[in-house]
């Protein structure tokens, strides 16, 4: 039984990691770290996880004694602890953004602070698992992708790789409010969030540089991307409605088959009709769809921002890094309703 | 045209007051006071009210020059400004709790602070309009009831007055999240509020002393009240499910008629089948229903916590205080959907 | 006092018409017609409208005796009764699609049935009020626009008229479920609709021909339109996120001013920050916003599908047709929350 | 590996059974039976269950070849097929109501049709697992309890058994809309269900006789029960707010401990603070809480109507009937958000 620590246990991604790990047959919870709530009984912090009621949170990364640490912390925190963890031989999956971008310069421009650990930034493997499984297997540091990039890239990568796209790609994303995290904000205050659809992140969203650089990592020519996220009044789930401009010689009628072929080896990425968000809730599954509006091709991509877009993909990456079966702990299915 | 000031314009009750006043044919907005956001354009504070786009908030109660002031402030604020307003001949409808309870002692015990204006506390008229319309007409200070007491008392008062009730009355109340106000809380954070029903205010809710003392004002024998509020994932509206213990000689089959008779003179209180919350949304209307579960009588009472349970009833009271038609500015109907 | 009849009173648009008319100072309800529920007390059909409790529905268009009839019926019904109504000197605002398209051929191709009244089809004025107010004033038959076309055209018409747009315009629309009507469907079954975002109307939506022909009526060069509607789990409201391709010489920085100028004379169309759906709920107001994502311009347009996108715009048109003030009965403001 | 058939696969309980079974380590899906959708690919019927994409539904109970059959059908269907299944040595867990009541007379009075299989009615074991585990282990026919009875009885049974309750018990239940099933109804039409709380099942709900007779099976003196269910705008989950009348010598301060003691041996029933519905979503867990309102004791009980209130408890029962570990296939935890 491999052993994992979870840092940032009081946030939503940390909670989802713990939820999934309580049902993981090969990876045990070694420590639960919460800087904000040290010394707290898990029974109080996560009453939804009775199996953990006997645990208590510990305060710092120094207390970690495990094969792998999951970091689910705000921007800027992971890069403070990663060097120490790696030094002590502890593998890391970082669910935050600290190691997702290719250069300290781009990180500083995007997150408004200098990168504290450029040495490991260049070592980190971008953990879009279906596309980087080989480097993930041998990585000691994986940057788990953001929820929006995961949803967008799973749909676009096969088509870009095949040269089917040109010109701008418009991504109109709809996200549940859990994606905005546990911090209280007016945008996620129920009376102001429940009856509307809120565009945000304009004129530029932090996930756009991540998407662009991920496409560079894939050696695909990245088209201009227009990305507009919206908060919708659901809790979990992202639906990306994607409006691509096909290349002159493209064959949109073949796109669904191209997506199926690209993910034939993955138990987690599926191609079919327009997806319902619940199908992905709590799981590592993503659902893709290709259709058209008039003559224009339209793609849909759905996943759970806390699942395949967060904690579940982190476990998928950890499984590879630890030599465990790819789907260990990730076999639960999503909801019909 | 009478002139009204609104204090506390940035809260939900203040916003609803402004919304209703923009459509009031006999009462104009004289000043908009916001201590938290003075000097703010209404176009920024309330973009949903284009008719007010040219106004700017002012800072203090001293700036009020009006026939009547609506106070929509947190507990403890109104009692600081009421003496000055009354001194200057400005009538007051206080939507907060400062003048709802009959004694400084009960106020201190309930709100955890001494009452700063006991002289006017005893003068204040409790503005459950249908039951206190005569004193409201001649009042210069009206304490507008809380949302839960309004919903509960409208259903119970006629039956208590007729001696139909004895023993405990259980009120299981379900409220939309706007009732919790604009302040950010975990209980009203969308991801934690949207998919559940949250009991709160236990073991004792501040509205219980208000309900008890209102019944005393009505000279009705008050039975033991058990009151448990729950937040439900809607924004506006309260449904009280009321389980009374009938008196030995009671005739529950006559209760619906008794309620109809009690409110025959009101354009705002209706008796029929189990109500839908939307019927009351944005209005001064309340909907009552009498039914039974097995042999046990059950009552339902529905209203909009920001409407009849707040800003709309405040305007109803102001209309009476200013000699305006009872329904002036309150003629809009609620929603089918 | 002018007198109006409402046909199709049991549907959501019919209910909203009745709700607004109960508060209209110059237009009274003459008859309520419901083929599906004739002889029904309004107290039963619309318990949210206590002011109408004394009315009873009548069965057929022949019973209409009024200055103007609002038709809120399924496709194919209006064209059966319009000739008779006009013959008897009764003006008509049709909220359904029967008279929105310019030719019987396009109607047949879009709605799958022949048009029964081509003579009046060519006479009908398209009631996008802000753009066709003069012909509406003198019309006896107005085709009230669909909710999506209203939201889309209000944003696009000024920019198209100014030659600012070229190439494709992508409209990603999010609509509340009331837009799908009162008929029970799996897509609007609460357990299947509440936790997701549902694209629909693919590969082609009936509103697309309406949008294209409306642009032709405006004599603007219509660019290719890609229109994808989604159901979101709110009840009322549409948000269109619009991704236009600017013309080579366009100045997107001036677009907000262009929109403001275009609607300077309208009390109902506003330009500002990204709108919240509640601002428009129950009203005739529409809210437009111009922003950008990176360098790409993005427009947002919000309204209530049953309000400006339906019953409220119908009353706006009726006001003009009957010589009443443009905002009569439409002065209520939307919700902050 | 034991083998199970699922009858009624197109309903919500059937879908949830399949979802849980795809992740069950000891119980495989042998056949999926759907009278309404025979010959349908599971890929079409349940796209959220990719693991079943290769299966096809079969039409009738005669096709069942399995160790155990789960029946998830409308009232009246199970009693037609149970005799044949038992005859062929196939154990049965019936999720519908056909075998829950103790006599054919009570069944006929409650469901309005004669019971077709009175012989097995008296044999059936009532599957409130924590209270009837021994008879369930040896049963060949288990009547899985309704969702409301499960939530109510788990809270009340220990207190009734201890003689702590007397006089009426009021149960104000709030249920998600999935409890009303997949059949389209006005009460579950999103525009009419999403913004309100709907009491229903008055004056008498079918679950009341089931609760009363379950208490008789427990040999506890059943107090008068007042049960009022409400639909709230969530999809999954039930919260029962329970207002009991304590016996004269009762000690409500000890009730939480009494509940903890009663369920010390169960991994699925927990006692703590007021529960959030999400904690139980998709699981077999139930959460109980004891608090008070003033001096009056109040209990809360939460579970997932499709989980512990349906499919998950059915699997818990099947595990016992087949000699499998009690928690096999039921180890997933609920959601924090």
- CB-based contact C260:C307 (threshold 8 Å): no
pLDDT of residue B270: 98
Give whole-number Cα distances, D253 to B172, D167, D249, D297, in Å: 22, 19, 12, 9
Side-chain-facing half-sphere of A219: CA atoms under 13 Å = 2
From the candidates C92, C139, C147, C290, give the one annotated as an active-site residue.
C147
**Which residues in A have their CB inside 8 Å of a CB on D?**
12, 15-16, 19, 22-23, 43, 46-51, 178, 182, 235-236, 267, 270, 272-273, 275-276, 278-279, 282, 285, 287, 306, 331-337
Domain contains A77:
yes
Distance in Å, alpha carbon of D35 to nearest chain C alpha carbon: 19
Q: Which CATH number goes with the domain that contains A177?
A: 3.30.360.10
Q: Can you tell me the distance from the alpha carbon of D294 to that of B202, in angstroms, rounded to the nearest whole number?
A: 8
Domain presence at residue D326: no
Domain-located, residue A310:
no
Q: What is the pLDDT of residue D148?
A: 97
Hunting for tokens 């450029």 — which residue is that? Answer: A118
User: Catalytic residue among B20, B33, B147, B330, which?
Assistant: B147
Q: Is residue B333 part of a domain?
A: no
Q: By CB neighbour count within 10 A (0-12 exposed, 13-18 middle, 19+ buried), where does A264 fall?
A: exposed
Domain shared by D135 and D172, yes or no: no
Residue A293: exposure state from Cβ atoms within 10 A (0-12, 13-18, ≥19): buried
Are residues D27 and D171 both part of a single domain? no
Widest distance between CA atoms in chain B: 61
Q: 């309100």: which residue's tokens? A: D196
Q: What is the mean pLDDT of residues B244-267?
A: 97
Kindly state whether residue D195 falls inside one of the protein's structural domains: yes
The structure tokens listed for A327 are 């789907």
Please tell me the distance from the alpha carbon of residue B170 to that of residue A193, in angstroms, as a whole number. 32
pLDDT of residue C132: 98
Q: Are B159 and B258 in contact (CB under 8 A)?
A: yes
The Cα of C336 is separated from the nearest Cα of chain B by a number of Å equal to 6
In a domain, D332, yes or no: no
The reply to whether D136 and D203 lie within a common domain is: no
**Which residues of C are less than 8 Å from B16 in CB distance?**
336
Confidence of residue A146 (pLDDT cuts 50, 70, 90): very high
Q: How far is residue A222's CA from residue C223's CA, in Å, rounded to a whole number?
A: 26
Task: Give chains near C: 3+ CB pairs under 8 A.
Answer: A, B, D
For residues C86 and C64, the answer to whether their CB atoms sit within 8 Å is no
Which residue bears the tokens 């329970």? D242
Which one has a higher pLDDT value, D130 or A63?
D130
Nearest by CB to D232, which of B232, B294, B298? B232
Residue A313: CB atoms within 10 Å: 28
- Phi/psi at B127 (nearest 5 deg)? -90, 45
d(CA A317, CA A311): 10
Shared domain for D140 and D152, answered yes or no, is: no
Residues C253 and C118 in one domain: no
Q: Which residue is associated with the tokens 């792998």?
A: A68
A52 contacts A296 by C-beta, under 8 angstroms: no
- The answer, yes or no, to whether residue D224 has pLDDT greater than 80, is yes
D218 and D261 both lie in a single domain:
yes
pLDDT digits (tens, 9 = 90+) for A57-103: 998 899 899 999 999 999 999 999 999 999 999 999 999 999 999 99
Angstrom CA distances, A172 to A97, A234, C174, C243, C246, stand at 21, 16, 11, 9, 18
The total domain count for chain D is: 2
Pairing of the two strands D165-175 and D238-246: antiparallel
Q: What is the pLDDT of residue D206?
A: 85
What is the 3-state secondary structure of chain A? CEEEEEECCCCHHHHHHHHHHCCCCCEEEEEEECCCCCCCEHHHHCCCCHHHCCCECECCHHHCCCCEEEECCCCCCHHHHHHHHHHCCCEEEECCCCCCCCCHHHHHHHHCCCCCCHHHHHHCEECCHHHHHHHHHCCCEEECCCHHHHHHHHHHHHHHHCCCEEEEEEEEEEECHHHHCCCCCHHHEHHHHCCCCEECCCCCCCHHHHHHHHHHHCCCCCCCEEEEEEECCCCCCEEEEEEEEECCCCCHHHHHHHHHHHCCCCCCEEECCCCCHHHHCCCCCEEEEEEEECCEEEEEEEECCCHHHHHHHHHHHHHHHCCCCCCCCCCCCCCCC
Residues A119 and A209 in one domain: no
Check: complex ipTM more than 0.90: yes
**A90 and A226 belong to one structural domain:** no
Residue B221 has pLDDT above 80, yes or no: no
- What is the reported pLDDT for A204? 82
Q: Does position B242 have pLDDT exceeding 90, yes or no?
A: yes
Q: Please give the pLDDT value at position B281.
A: 98
pLDDT band at D205 (very low <50, low <70, confident <90, very high): confident
Mutate one of B166, B186, B197 to test the D interface: name it (highest D CB count within 10 A).
B197
pLDDT tens per residue across span B151-170: 999 999 999 999 999 989 99
What are the structure tokens assigned to B126, written together?
Answer: 């409790």
Tokens of D185: 């109804």
Cβ atoms of A274 and A289 closer than 8 Å: yes
The pLDDT tens digits for D174-203 are 999 999 999 999 999 999 999 999 999 998
Considering the domain boundaries, does residue D255 fall inside one?
yes
- This prediction has a pTM of 0.97
Same domain, B270 and B312: no
> For residue D82, what pLDDT band results from cuts at 50, 70 and 90?
very high
Q: What is the pLDDT of residue A255?
A: 98
Q: Are residues B122 and B185 in the same domain?
A: no
H or E element in which residue D226 lies: strand D225-231
C275: exposed, middle or buried (Cβ count in 10 Å: 0-12, 13-18, 19+): buried
Q: Which of D177, C219, A134, C8 is nearest to B232 (CA)?
A: D177
D136: pLDDT strictly greater than 80:
yes
Flag if A228 and C241 touch (Cβ within 8 Å): yes
Q: What is the pLDDT along chain C (337 residues), one digit of tens a residue?
A: 999 999 999 999 999 999 999 999 999 999 999 888 899 999 999 999 999 999 999 988 998 999 999 999 999 999 999 999 999 999 999 999 999 999 999 999 999 999 999 999 999 999 999 999 999 999 999 999 999 999 999 999 999 999 999 989 999 999 999 999 999 999 999 999 999 999 999 988 888 999 999 999 998 878 899 999 999 999 999 999 999 999 999 999 999 999 999 999 999 999 999 999 999 999 999 999 999 999 999 999 999 999 999 999 999 999 999 999 999 999 999 999 9
Structural domain that includes position B229: 147-304
Q: Which residues on D lie below 8 Å from C196 (Cβ)? A: none
Instruction: State residue C36's pLDDT score.
Output: 84
Q: Which region, left, alpha or beta, applies to residue A235 given φ > 0 means left and ψ of -120 to 50 means alpha? A: alpha
Say if CB B155 and CB B258 are below 8 A apart. Answer: no
pLDDT of residue C220: 84
- Per-residue pLDDT tens digits for B99-114: 999 999 999 999 999 9
Average pLDDT, chain A: 96
Separation between Cα atoms, residue C315 and residue B4, nearest integer Å: 31
Q: Nearest Cα to A19, choosing from A306, A317, A319?
A: A306
Residues B242, B301: contact at Cβ < 8 Å? yes
Give the mean pLDDT of A283-305: 97
* pLDDT score of D107: 97
Of D80, D119, D118, D114, the C-alpha closest to D96 is: D80
pLDDT at B308 over 90: yes
Looking at residue D221, its pLDDT comes to 77
**Can you tell me the mean pLDDT for B276-292?**
98
Domain check: are D260 and D276 in the same one?
yes
Q: Which residues of D touch C233 (CB under 8 A)?
A: 190, 194
Domain CATH for C29: 3.40.50.720
**Contact list, A276 vs chain C (CB under 8 Å):** 192, 196, 198
Asked whether residue D337 is assigned to any structural domain, the reply reads no
Decide if D194 and C234 are in contact by the 8 Å CB cutoff: yes
Same domain, A45 and A167: no
């Amino acid at each position: 039984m491999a052993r994992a620590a979870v840092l940032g246990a009081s946030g939503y991604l940390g909670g989802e990691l713990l939820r999934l790990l309580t049902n993981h047959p090969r990876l045990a919870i070694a420590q639960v770290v919460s800087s904000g709530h040290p010394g707290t009984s898990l029974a109080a912090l996560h009453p939804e996880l009775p199996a953990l009621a006997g645990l208590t949170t510990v305060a710092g990364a120094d207390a970690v004694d495990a094969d792998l640490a999951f970091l689910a912390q705000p921007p800027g925190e992971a890069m403070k602890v990663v060097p120490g963890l790696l030094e002590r031989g502890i593998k890391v999956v970082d669910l935050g953004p600290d190691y997702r971008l290719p250069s300290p310069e781009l990180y500083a421009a995007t997150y408004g602070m200098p990168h504290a650990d450029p040495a490991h930034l260049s070592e980190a493997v971008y953990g879009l698992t279906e596309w980087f499984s080989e480097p993930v297997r041998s990585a000691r540091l994986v940057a788990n992708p953001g929820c929006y990039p995961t949803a967008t890239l799973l749909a676009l990568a096969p088509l870009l790789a095949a040269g089917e796209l040109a010109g701008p790609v418009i991504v109109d994303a709809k996200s549940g409010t859990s994606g905005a995290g546990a911090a209280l904000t007016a945008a996620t205050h129920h009376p102001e969030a429940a009856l509307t659809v809120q565009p945000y992140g304009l004129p530029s969203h932090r996930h756009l540089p991540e998407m662009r650089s991920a496409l560079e990592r894939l050696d695909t020519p990245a088209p201009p991307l227009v990305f507009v996220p919206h908060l919708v009044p659901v809790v979990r789930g992202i639906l990306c409605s994607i409006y691509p401009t096909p290349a002159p010689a493209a064959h949109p009628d073949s796109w669904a088959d191209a997506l199926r072929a690209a993910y034939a080896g993955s138990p987690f990425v599926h191609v079919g009709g327009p997806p319902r968000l619940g199908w992905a809730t709590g799981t590592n599954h993503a659902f893709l769809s290709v259709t058209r509006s008039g003559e224009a091709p339209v793609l849909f991509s759905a996943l759970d921002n806390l699942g395949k877009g967060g904690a579940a993909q982190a476990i998928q990456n950890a499984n590879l890094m630890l030599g465990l079966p790819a789907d260990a702990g990730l076999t639960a299915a999503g909801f019909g309703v």
